[in-house]
Structure 1
């Protein structure tokens, strides 16, 4: 991958997750990445790799006085060992709200986006492309590089999965987003000219990727929408029947360049699959290939201790066979699950994951003949659209 030399990768993490989620990348997604920086809220070394402090250049008055930085100050003084097991357990199980996750590490995370833009440019000012990702982001590098080769790197590109908060359209951080060299220079110039304004704006906001999108907008640039080439989802949780722009424009036939919400074990499993695919096929990986070659072999008539994320509750006093029969009797039902006596069905095929529900066995099944019919229908519904690039 010669073009990878033109890329600088910024991986954003936090001390609350770095030890568990970071090491897997060094043997998988970062094996062929020569230029990268890892940034957190605590400077340390993990698996022999230096993790830098993303927040060491935030205006001292903000650090001293903003409540989001109380956690950060304690972390700098005492390290992660300065927090009790009860605190860590409470934060790890914190609920998500409409304004993000209710934990101090998550609230601090929004402050990292603008400093990381500056740090990335300073780290490799001659890079053509700057890729920003998180520890649960999976980048398919050969696909991404092929896609980026379609863009003129000297244009101010800001590329990512489109999201919107109020009037600001921005790139969702978890899916990974990309800035060209020109775009990053324009962004950093804007930050430096109005640093205190944007720090105050960050303090009043809740989503750092939206804050960065606002600065991009203020700098005169606009987002290059990139779904479904970049994705904010895990392949096990996706609806592969999604379309965009029009009912005839399907996700199914497009190439894929990223996934999100990937646990370390997911990253290893998908990395092995991607490598085998590249060795055995001359084609660039598409969503339909992921479904057929990665997900389909894991689907079965019945899977014990598995939750396939069927969402519609049909019967709360059902047996396994009754639940299966109910799904079988409805033409559009493609899968079912039963947890205790509760039967759920779905018209959308999803793999899901192993069930960890305490004290209650969850079993799942798929109507495999309908799964194959779905694949045939999807193949006939779209051409090989490839990339979003305009």
Structure 2
């Protein structure tokens, strides 16, 4: 492994990027998917911005994962030589998040794509940073838009842009909680309506793509790995591929992790749905997850889901459980190649993109989840890290000091990390490893935290997982 990559690992590299954001935004951007869904155990399956009335208040750094900023810049020129010509990328967003999330993709996800090879769809047409964002909902039946309560927000948005909403409304939506039927905010409720109309628009715009790749604003695609994996699959067959989740009896591809539809499958879906006018609109009105409705329609059109976890992952590398097993206790996510992540902040995207670029320069192999852990996770861990919350979740009750919490963790044989909240005198532990995020006294929800990891156990944890990965296994999940 080359010196530059070693330096990258040792210096905790991430970068701070400037982003133009709106003063008020009204969803919790870390949790775009609410409600009761079951993530299934995997199986082997052969600003120029048109702001309108938007108030742009500040330009700020997001340093959630930042330790220090390297002096050198990463080359964002295209380094992909084949495969992109076969795909059409579909990026789904909303007016409530687009100004915050899209800029991170302009020099990463979209850097190698021509304007004919991707489309960005939202609930509001606008231009952001020279990129055109289209309205996915502008061809819906007028009676739905005019009468369905989900569209009250949409109608106001079209009439007056983001400035249509009061401060009180925006604050309420920003703090909306997840419930059994998803997040109780109008932007979130509207999102489910975009999926099937978007499919029709995409197919009409580019009917001859071999693959249609769908992602969200907080999805990250490792193009090198992704395109290599895709090259192993026959595009002439009807495929619907993604990370499997379940609502009730319906199994579908989780939108946040990204999913892929082959041209024959896309054609089958569009043509079948055209014979069922109003059917899926009614289903959508009575459901809360648009990706589930798409999955139902796909199955009705004769195309079953091919499961793709853990190459497609529903979490960020900073929050995933690296010890998770797939299909049986002998198949660990740790060993598999990385294709996509979800719940990625802009700084997460930038950090993982830098890792991907440096890895490619220094290695001839494809990075696995374990490689991301070694490069981005491990350097952040320590016996004691001030002002840091590592997201340990097991409540161990009140304790007086960090040292008491640390001692409590050490007495639990499966405890790998812990966090002590100073103001609350509360200790939490975890048997999995996560990095978490920085805490500052200026945080709105002041909760000063000191985190720690049992580093000897972390070393044993890594060694045990490394031993589970045969070097002669490629570890791609193929349909």
In structure 2, the partner of 1:23 is: 103
Residues 1-390 of structure 1 aligned to structure 2 (within 5 Å): 1=80, 2-34=82-114, 35-340=117-422, 341-355=425-439, 356=443, 358-383=445-470, 384-390=473-479
For residues 457 and 274 of structure 2, the distance between their equivalents in structure 1, rounded to whole angstroms, comes to 56
Q: 2:447, 2:193 → 1: CA distance?
A: 40
- Taking the aligned partners of 2:303 and 2:222, their CA distance within structure 1 comes to 26
1:113-132 deviation digits (Å, cap 9, x = unpaired): 00111111112111110001
TM-superposed CA distance for 1:65, in Å, is 1.2
Structure-2 separation of matches of 1:75 and 1:294: 39
> 2: distance between equivalents of 1:343 and 1:205?
39
Task: Answer yes or no: is the 8 Å Cα contact 2:219–2:341 preserved in 1.
Answer: yes
Deviation at 1:200, TM superposition (A): 1.1
Q: Secondary structure at the match of 1:25?
A: helix
Q: Larger relative contact order (C-alpha < 8 A, sep ≥ 6)?
A: 2
Deviation at 1:385, TM superposition (A): 4.5
Q: CA deviation at 1:85?
A: 1.8
**Contact 2:258–2:312 (Cα < 8 Å) also in 1:** yes
Contact between 1:337 and 1:362, CA under 8 Å: does it hold in 2? yes
CA RMSD of aligned residues (A): 1.2
Distance in 2, Cα, partners of 1:359 & 1:388: 43
| Unaligned 5+ runs, structure 1 | none
SS at the partner of 2:214? strand
Q: CA deviation at 1:329?
A: 2.8
* Residues 248 and 382 in structure 1, CA contact (< 8 A), matched pair in contact too: no
- The answer to whether the 8 Å contact 2:399/2:405 transfers is no
- Output the TM-score relative to the length of structure 2: 0.80
Q: What is the DSSP-based 3-state SS (H/G/I as helix, E as strand, rest coil) of the residue aligned with 1:178?
A: strand
Q: Structure 2: where are the runs of 5+ without partners?
A: 1-79
Q: Secondary structure at the match of 1:381?
A: coil
Contact 2:89–2:214 (Cα < 8 Å) also in 1: yes
* 1:187-244 CA-partner distances (Å, limit 9, x unpaired): 1112211131111111111100000000001001100000000011111111100002
Higher helix residue share: 1
Aligned residue for 2:65?
none
Normalising by structure 1, report the TM-score: 0.97
Equivalent-residue separation in structure 2 for 1:33 and 1:365 (angstroms): 42
